Amino acid sequence: MRRFGKGFIVTTALVASLLASGQQASAVVTWEFSEESVALGISAVSPHVERTGSVDRIWYPSLPSTAVSDCTDAGACTLVSGVGRLSSDFTAITLPNGTRRAYFVDMTPGTSAKTVSSAQCATAECLSVGTSTPIAADVAVPMTEKAWGVPDAVVTPDGKVRVYLVVSPTLTNSCPEKVRSYISNDGINFTVESGYRLEGGFVDTEILRAKTGDWLMIMSNGPGCGNGMQQLFVSSSADGLTWSTPQAVTKDDNRRLDPTGYEVSPNVFRIYYSYNATAIGDNYTLKRGTLKIAAAATAPGTVSTTTTAKLGGSCTKLGAKTTVNKVKLTCKKVKTKLIWSK
């Protein structure tokens, strides 16, 4: 979410403890996120990805409408032809009856407000949609509302459809965003669920897994939170309603937001996200990374950082030692930077 508008690169890995939902259990699951070096060549925000055959199909806002590209595992992306007019912040799901339905931000008919609407996909590929209808009357907000929207739809383990979206009931601070959810039996008519799923400025939710007793979400924080350099976070839940405290899996050195992804193999997820090297401006590109269970556990509540080591590359802990290709390296301070050195 952009409130004011909307691995060779050294691979960065952050290990964050993810507490089991409810906090009673002492077991800790730790996650590691690594950025990949592929250059996708797409400038965009708010992507939605699905695995289609041997490629990743990505929907993303573009002029004059949402565009769709197919990206190979090597990161080569090509535009898909025959795309109809699709609205922004697009996401799609397959309902239990096999039909496909899309969810997106749309104009409220007959007003100057915007809302979250849904429409049946014209084909299984969902390159175009039929007539759209608002998911609920109480979703609409004025067009001037910035910290709002970015819907994420998911089929629950019991066959219902839940839509998560960002709201800002009051703009009393720089981190006002909350996540609300709506539930539906048919994927068309929704009712709001009480309370908030997340508070404290978290946005751009993406459900990566929704199994009975086992939900996983990735998200970012809002553009007014912290130092303005948005980060990616993960959270878990037993029911999709009560979520553990989100834990950061990326640094706050650049902006990383609008994550979308899918499970490649058990506990390994491919993630696409929007990236901007600065806290302001609209120079966004899509990047790709991998989220997986870390090789080693960390203590609850801790976040540690490591970098893929190479001679002359940056490191994070002075005095740290490693061996690369039988060469022993030590993290040393060179001028003002920490560098892997012999």
Nearest to 293 by CA among 268, 260, 313: 268
Query: How many residues comprise the chain?
Result: 342
| Mean pLDDT value of segment 152-156 | 98
| Mean pLDDT value of segment 251-262 | 96
Cβ contacts of residue 276 below 8 Å, gap of 6+? 254, 255, 257, 282, 283, 284, 285
Predicted local confidence at residue 49, as pLDDT: 98
Run of H or E including 35: strand 28-35
Q: Look up tokens 């037993």; give the residue.
A: 238
Could you give the C-alpha distances from 256 to 129, 159, 273, in angstroms and in order? 30, 32, 7
Run of H or E including 273: strand 268-276
Name residue 336's amino acid.
T
- C-alpha 294/C-alpha 275 separation (Å) is 23
Predicted local confidence at residue 337, as pLDDT: 65
Tokens describing residue 220: 């970012």
Convert the pLDDT of each residue in 70-91 to its tens digit: 999 999 999 999 999 899 899 9
12 vs 178: which has the higher pLDDT: 178
Convert the pLDDT of each residue in 281-297 to its tens digit: 889 999 999 999 986 54
Predicted local confidence at residue 336, as pLDDT: 59
CA 308 to chain CA mean position, Å: 23
Gyration radius of the chain's alpha carbons:
20
Predicted local confidence at residue 313, as pLDDT: 73
Could you give the C-alpha distances from 319 to 8, 56, 316, 331, 335, in angstroms and in order? 25, 41, 9, 5, 15
Nearest to 268 by CA among 22, 6, 31: 31
**Does the structure show a pLDDT above 60 at 231?**
yes
